[in-house]
Structure 1
Amino acid sequence: MSSRRPSQPDPQEPSSARPDRPAPPFDVPAAPEAPASEDEAFDLEEVLAKYDRESAFRRLGGPVGWAIAATLIAFSLFQLYTAAFGVFDARIQRAIHLAFGMSLVYLLFPTRRGGSRTSLPWWDVLLGLAAAAIPLYLVVFYQEIVMRAGLPTPSDIAVATVAVLLVLEATRRVVGIPIVVIAVAFLVYAAVGRQMPGFLAHRGFSFAQIANHMYFTTEGIFGIPLGVSSTFIFLFILFGAFLEKTGIGRFFIDLANAVAGFASGGPAKVAVITSAFEGTISGSSVANTVGSGSFTIPMMKRLGYRPEFAAAVEAAASTGGQLMPPIMGAAAFLMAEFTGIPYIEIAKSAILPALLYFTGIFIAVHYEAKRVGLQGIPRSQLPSLWSVMRQRGHLFLPLVGIIYLLMEGNTPMKAAFYGIVLAVAAAMVHPSTRMSFRDIVGALEQGARAALGVVMATAAAGIIIGVITLTGLGLKLASGLVSLAQGQLLLTLFFTMITSLVLGMGSPTTANYVITSTIAAPALLQLGVPILVAHMFVFYFGIVADITPPVALAAYAGSGIARSNPLATGVTASRIAIGAFLIPFIFAFNPSMLLIDATWVHTLQMGITSVLGMFGVAVGMGGFYRAAMSLPERLLFVAGGLLMIDPKLLTDSVGLLLLAAGIAVQIVRAHDQTGKPIGRSAH
């Protein structure tokens, strides 16, 4: 999910025993707990806190710490109770969810980013109490509020005003300023509609009308985004926390090492495979980068990869985790709600694009290793696939169980609930993964804390949607976007991409998707793009914003571990993940890539040609196949690759010819350079 992250380590617990921080697999080089050099030393918590606002929470001890922990656990238990026995009325369910989440934000997150994380000032206690009481006003006086719907009293308006202010401040603390600025701008727009120019003008609304719409309807703060957070998303975040407690992070690293650790540039390939697996339980690009990168990045550097490349590989792969079914980022659950398409169908449609994304990264890593002459880890130092699967293969059961439940027609909420039960049960199979009572309680606490960012992001996004529904702004902006692009689909797609990337630089994926799906996706729908394609397009670019300079948070987090240049890391990550920038355009013009109206034969053909296309693009961008490439050769590979990704007979045929020509030239060049060192100095 967009705000899920690996659970935080207990400073009292030895690092080797922390299930949330992967231990070294067998005899591979030591993880950063024992760095190879002074230069590689880093503080995992500090890196997370610097680049991931949701990790910069207070760590309090004593009675206050226990009280907050109890509240977090109660939050998780409330969500589990409603999943097992049925949710309350929509507004009551969402109000209780917001009361828990918002009050905990004030108790856990300092006023300033660099504020003290070891003390709790009295004013934050008061704000926390107010943040719990204000949403509960809706619960306590629910019947009276329903009876006077549309006729709010002065006390109703006062409560609604305070609620909006509390939501904005809590969002600023845990998510960041950009999304708050956007929400405030939308609120101002609702009030000054008569003064707006051109097609943006509307009749304008009074302060009381805006406050009432934001708080007492299901189209504002308590709208669909918060509704999805209070049901599906929270439980999948909690599911990830329980899986982390089973030690699945170490299992993923061991499994990746067994599969690819021995190959050329093995540790980099391990990073790609591990991050793809991690994406099924952690939907935060930054947290995924730091969680698995704390092991893979130092290992890549010791093997010989330059720091920028090592950090970029991890960041690009970790960002792609949100694209990987069966459990994608939080925005994918919102997509299911907004489009009315079952989540399992969205996950199926995302399979081929996700595989292409990781294939492109894997190829880029492989040929970078070939270019520099990097070897893998000796097999004697790696675990065997059989031993890894025998000891911990049962940890896959919860993931398989969730897929089965979704395919059988269960709601995502029920699937996540039974997935949690299955995670606890599966962990009991082997002593090394068995969860103690303390582990279970810890998962309840850490899962709730990990969900706070999503709670506030969806509440703030509800304010934005509230203004859009109140003023009709969404249709106006969509029409304006189409008009600006003069009705051209390619230009509209390009403007939509830029919008998503810019919003993604300051907003979490969840909020970014809510805004762009409300504004930009309708523009694509006007041009005849299928609804799933339009929403998947904005979803993709909202995610890859995490590795797109100048604000590439996942890449910057990786650079914090690698001690590399942050901007250079972001540029390299964008180059490695070039497929993420190309694939959405391809499925926009050819929806069959999302398995829309596609036969199995066509899907197989499309998969093969698309993989060949990603090979051409990745190799051309990297500038090496058998030997260093000249600029014309690179263009030949890239052009051939792009044509192969577009699954049409003519483009496939021309693309195949171009790739064949490029490969032939490279074979001849490599033969001429036999015996000469290739690329070492350039690296």
Structure 2
Amino acid sequence: MEEQQELLEKFDPEAGTRKLSGISGKVVFLGLLAFSIFQLYASIFQVFPKQILLSIHLGFALSLIFLLFPAAKKTRKNNKAAWYDIILSFLAVGVGIYWPIMMDDIVSRVGIMTSLDFAVGITAVLLVLEATRRAVGLPIMTISILFLLYAYFGPYMPGFLAHRGLDLEDLVKTMFFTTEGILGTPLSVSATYIFLFLLFGAFLVKTGVGQYFNDLAVAIAGKRIGGPAKVAIFSSALQGTISGSSVANVVTSGSFTIPMMKKLGYRKEFAGAVEAAASTGGQLMPPIMGAAAFLMVEFIGGISYWDIAKAAAIPALLYFTGIWIMTHFEAKRIGLRGLTDEEMPNRLEVLKKIYLLIPILTVIVLLMLHMSVMRAALWSIVSAIVISAFNKETRMNVRSIIDALVDGARTALSVAAATACAGIIVGVVTKTGLGLKLANGLVDLADEKLLLTLFFTMITALILGMGSPTTANYVITSTIAAPAIILLGVPQLAAHLFVFYFGIIADITPPVALAAFAAAGVSGGEPIKTGVNSSKLAIAAFIIPYMFVLQPDLLMIDTTITRVIWVVITAIAGMMAIGAGMIGYWYRKLYWFERIVGAAAGLMLVYPEGISDIIGVVLFIGMLAIQWINKKEPKSRKLNAQV
């Protein structure tokens, strides 16, 4: 557990909290509990105006961040908050209660700010920036500051970036006294959908679902060729439903799966890569995707969360199928076995606990019935408590319920900071018209060519993702880059999912690949090599977004069930051919030209279009037939291998 925590703190800023004790520890514990109780009350009864709800949500998050997250890493081991952190925490409380106390007065003045308004507003901006630096990281704070400077120095900007500029009063007013800044859509989503689903995840952990995912994965996939790698894929896909962090997913499930893979003979870098790629894909996995998916509901408008989860289903299936296939071919290539009967858990005992998955099924059913996301999350929390009562080992008592409430609130702190900081960026973009300017600029740079625009957007998302959490990354790219894709006639949902995907897989894309680096910390492998292997395994994530933009059939947009079935079959066959080409093995080792043909056939099959499907099917069947007829390794290659 200590090693896991060290890795989390090293690669995930969200885990770098103090271990408070004494009075300060009790204050934080009660504060986190009160935060969850307030959010549940607000969600159930929905009695608070938007500004009051978001202001209190922000006040809770900021005040607790300053007590829990130290200003510098070297003071993390202190078991009490510094005096200046206590002052900042009190200031955050003041910011949080300002709107509830002064709302009638603020509204009656119709946008006219007093000197007290200005002082509170600028304090709020500074507190958000510092809290984000502590809880999320320096990059997103730096980006937000650059946007603020852009807003202020507008007249001095070059070319199409120039605008009339905002003075300090206008900036403060936009940031804290409108719904376009800090108290805007990103924080609104944090205070509603995201918080409740993080709370749901905390309750699932208390019921033992996390460990059950591992047991279920071993029972299903453990005995197959290269079993532990497939266990990692299956387990991490499930873990994604309760963890919004790629790094946290890697460390928790990887501490179990990576040693198993190494024991059976997988290289350290490959073992770490499998876990990193699978854990990162957890945020792409419906029904409960990464926090940014909830933002998508608000940013696109006119669609439900179920529409997004349904659209993401086939791409997620292809993502994990691709990783599964490539690990299978790698295991065959180096001759790895599955787990023995002695290493396997009792399948009957595992299946007896299948009821633990009922809360997740509850979410799916309720969303399918078009229940609101908030109500679905609330009922799912209730179902988790009820289901836990079926077994005395998982039964939740008052203490475990309180702990779940505290853990859920703790997890939500960094999300609240990230979304508040992202609100600064959205506010600047909205006020200055920067989004449309950059979108037009991106289209012009790409000479109005869709593929080139997609490529530039991908690079932008990957660069931002090096230091920004997925939520903040999505806010920036959906505000700046997604409009460029939409301008070229791409459906909104496809454009937003495109930037969402690349924001997530930045976690396994070198040179800064935090999930891969965390996996290397568990496996003992070389970080950059682990990142390269992760990117290779997750090749589907680099291909599929282009495919569903070019052919939205993959997202089940305006298509038929027959077409969807055909798309899924050909795409899975395509991932098989691409996997064989990337690994260099199918029924036997492939020659270099066979690998090229395999990759080409796979791309043709993944792209859902008539002619490409026909060419891909012909190439696929041809390769399959040749492999099947000539399963045995060529003698010359065997001799070379022996030498």
Q: Give your verdict on TM over 0.5.
A: yes
Report the secondary structure of 2:75's partner residue. coil
**Distance between the aligned counterparts of 2:505 and 2:349, measured in 1?**
36
**Distance between the aligned counterparts of 1:270 and 1:465, measured in 2?**
40
CA contact (8 A) 2:598 2:623 kept: yes
**Distance between the aligned counterparts of 1:503 and 1:426, measured in 2?**
40
Q: Where does residue 368 of structure 1 map in the other structure? A: 330
Q: Where does residue 48 of structure 2 map in the other structure? A: 88
Identify the match of residue 100 of structure 1 among 60, 65, 88. Answer: 60
Q: Where does residue 586 of structure 2 map in the other structure? A: 625
Letter paired with 1:187: L
**Distance between the aligned counterparts of 1:300 and 1:563, measured in 2?**
13
CA contact (8 A) 1:44 1:290 kept: yes
Mapping of residues 562-601 of structure 1, within 5 Å: 562-601=523-562
Q: Where does residue 485 of structure 1 map in the other structure? A: 446
Q: Where does residue 405 of structure 1 map in the other structure? A: 366
Report the secondary structure of 1:388's partner residue. helix
Mapping of residues 288-437 of structure 1, within 5 Å: 288-340=249-301, 341-390=303-352, 392-437=353-398
Task: Confirm or deny that 1:163 pairs with 2:124.
Answer: yes
Task: Confirm or deny that 1:602 pairs with 2:536.
Answer: no
**Distance between the aligned counterparts of 1:554 and 1:331, measured in 2?**
18
Q: Where does residue 556 of structure 1 map in the other structure? A: 517
**Distance between the aligned counterparts of 1:131 and 1:242, measured in 2?**
28
Mapping of residues 218-257 of structure 1, within 5 Å: 218-257=179-218
**Distance between the aligned counterparts of 1:104 and 1:674, measured in 2?**
67
**Partner deviation per Cα, 1:23-48 (whole Å, 9 max, x = no partner):** xxxxxxxxxxxxxxxxxxx7111011
Report the secondary structure of 2:337's partner residue. coil
Report the secondary structure of 1:218's partner residue. coil
Q: CA 1:565 to 1:497, structure 2 compared with 1: closer, same or farther past 3 Å?
A: same
Return 5+ residue gaps in structure 2 as ranges: none
CA contact (8 A) 1:372 1:679 kept: no
Q: Where does residue 79 of structure 1 map in the other structure? A: 39
CA contact (8 A) 1:628 1:679 kept: no
**Distance between the aligned counterparts of 2:286 and 2:564, measured in 1?**
17
**Distance between the aligned counterparts of 1:626 and 1:115, measured in 2?**
55
Q: Where does residue 193 of structure 1 map in the other structure? A: 154
Q: Where does residue 12 of structure 1 map in the other structure? A: none
**Partner deviation per Cα, 1:546-577 (whole Å, 9 max, x = no partner):** 00001100000000000110000000000000
Q: CA 1:151 to 1:620, structure 2 compared with 1: closer, same or farther past 3 Å?
A: same
1:67 Cα offset (Å):
1.2
Report the secondary structure of 2:74's partner residue. coil
CA contact (8 A) 1:628 1:678 kept: no
Q: Where does residue 541 of structure 1 map in the other structure? A: 502
**Distance between the aligned counterparts of 1:316 and 1:507, measured in 2?**
18
CA contact (8 A) 2:589 2:633 kept: no
Report the secondary structure of 2:481's partner residue. helix
Identify the match of residue 111 of structure 1 among 61, 71, 74. Answer: 71
1:119 Cα offset (Å):
3.0
Q: Where does residue 214 of structure 1 map in the other structure? A: 175
CA contact (8 A) 2:52 2:100 kept: yes
Task: Confirm or deny that 1:647 pairs with 2:571.
Answer: no
**Partner deviation per Cα, 1:593-649 (whole Å, 9 max, x = no partner):** 100011111100110000000111111111111222232111111000000001122
**Distance between the aligned counterparts of 1:129 and 1:677, measured in 2?**
72
1:418 Cα offset (Å):
1.0
1:400 Cα offset (Å):
1.1
Letter paired with 2:340: P
**Distance between the aligned counterparts of 2:639 and 2:396, measured in 1?**
51
Q: Where does residue 15 of structure 1 map in the other structure? A: none
Letter paired with 1:99: G
1:674 Cα offset (Å):
7.1
Identify the match of residue 4 of structure 2 among 35, 39, 44. Answer: 44
**Distance between the aligned counterparts of 1:610 and 1:452, measured in 2?**
39
CA contact (8 A) 1:371 1:679 kept: no
**Partner deviation per Cα, 1:483-526 (whole Å, 9 max, x = no partner):** 11111111111111111111111110000000111111111111
Task: Confirm or deny that 1:153 pairs with 2:114.
Answer: yes
**Distance between the aligned counterparts of 1:428 and 1:678, measured in 2?**
62
CA contact (8 A) 1:372 1:678 kept: no
CA contact (8 A) 2:202 2:404 kept: yes
Letter paired with 2:341: R
1:585 Cα offset (Å):
0.2
Identify the match of residue 230 of structure 2 among 263, 269, 278. Answer: 269
The structure whose RCO (Cα within 8 Å, separation 6+) is larger is 1
CA contact (8 A) 2:60 2:96 kept: no
CA contact (8 A) 1:360 1:615 kept: yes
Mapping of residues 462-473 of structure 1, within 5 Å: 462-473=423-434
CA contact (8 A) 1:113 1:173 kept: no
Q: Where does residue 20 of structure 1 map in the other structure? A: none
**Distance between the aligned counterparts of 2:641 and 2:633, measured in 1?**
18
Q: Where does residue 439 of structure 1 map in the other structure? A: 400
**Distance between the aligned counterparts of 2:166 and 2:292, measured in 1?**
30
**Partner deviation per Cα, 1:342-369 (whole Å, 9 max, x = no partner):** 0011101111000000000000111111
**Partner deviation per Cα, 1:220-260 (whole Å, 9 max, x = no partner):** 00000000100110010010000001110111111111111
**Distance between the aligned counterparts of 2:632 and 2:194, measured in 1?**
55
Letter paired with 1:311: G
TM-score, with structure 2 as normaliser: 0.97
Decide which moves more: 333-342 or 107-116: 107-116
Sequence identity (%):
53
Q: CA 1:676 to 1:387, structure 2 compared with 1: closer, same or farther past 3 Å?
A: farther
1:670 Cα offset (Å):
4.0
Letter paired with 1:76: S
Decide which moves more: 158-167 or 574-583: 158-167
Report the secondary structure of 1:598's partner residue. coil
1:669 Cα offset (Å):
5.5
Report the secondary structure of 1:120's partner residue. coil
Task: Confirm or deny that 1:280 pairs with 2:241.
Answer: yes
Return 5+ residue gaps in structure 1 as ranges: 1-8, 10-41
TM-score, with structure 1 as normaliser: 0.92
Report the secondary structure of 2:330's partner residue. helix
1:675 Cα offset (Å):
12
Q: CA 1:443 to 1:662, structure 2 compared with 1: closer, same or farther past 3 Å?
A: same
Q: Where does residue 29 of structure 1 map in the other structure? A: none
Letter paired with 2:350: V
Task: Confirm or deny that 1:501 pairs with 2:476.
Answer: no
**Partner deviation per Cα, 1:49-76 (whole Å, 9 max, x = no partner):** 1011111101112221111111001101
Higher helix share: 2
**Distance between the aligned counterparts of 2:43 and 2:99, measured in 1?**
21
Aligned length: 641
**Distance between the aligned counterparts of 2:324 and 2:269, measured in 1?**
17
Letter paired with 1:658: L
**Distance between the aligned counterparts of 2:304 and 2:585, measured in 1?**
43
Decide which moves more: 548-557 or 625-634: 625-634
Report the secondary structure of 1:377's partner residue. coil
**Distance between the aligned counterparts of 2:42 and 2:369, measured in 1?**
21
1:274 Cα offset (Å):
0.2
Decide which moves more: 537-546 or 437-446: 437-446
CA contact (8 A) 2:154 2:162 kept: yes
Letter paired with 2:407: Q
